[in-house]
Amino acid sequence: MTETVEPVVLPDIEKREQTGTRNDLEPGYLVICWDDPVNLMDYVTHVFQVVFGWPRPKAKFHMLQVHNQGKSVLARESMERAEHYVHQLQSYSLHATMERDA
């Protein structure tokens, strides 16, 4: 006598693919440096190098944006990191702010 075995049916388990990092899903904050009539261009370039660890060409690019366009978006970060960068830039007497990225 043969026994009939019913096939085992397992529920479908949906596997979600992670499309990005956690930071991609969190609101971002833009770190913005604004032009001012006080600080010299070489000084601003130097500050960007110190604060962000950028090579001179990248720091100079952003400094020229500040000088020519009135501002430059320097970074998109979490709120805490953006606040940290803004405070560092302000400690060097640069006019820096942060705003929520839409």
Q: What does the pLDDT profile of the chain (102 residues) look like in tens digits?
A: 566 666 666 555 555 554 555 555 567 999 999 999 999 999 999 999 999 999 999 999 999 999 999 999 999 999 999 999 999 999 999 999 999 997
pLDDT of the residue at 38: 94
Please give the tally of structural domains in the chain.
1
Q: What pTM was computed for the model?
A: 0.74
Helix H, strand E, coil C: the string for 23-63 is HHHCCCEEEEEECCCCCCHHHHHHHHHHHHCCCHHHHHHHH
Q: What is the extent of the structural domain holding 61?
A: 37-100
CA 1, chain centre distance (Å): 70
Overall size of the chain counted in residues: 102
Return the CATH number at 74: 3.30.1390.10
- Is 7 domain-assigned? no
In whole angstroms, what is the distance from residue 49 CA to residue 52 CA? 6
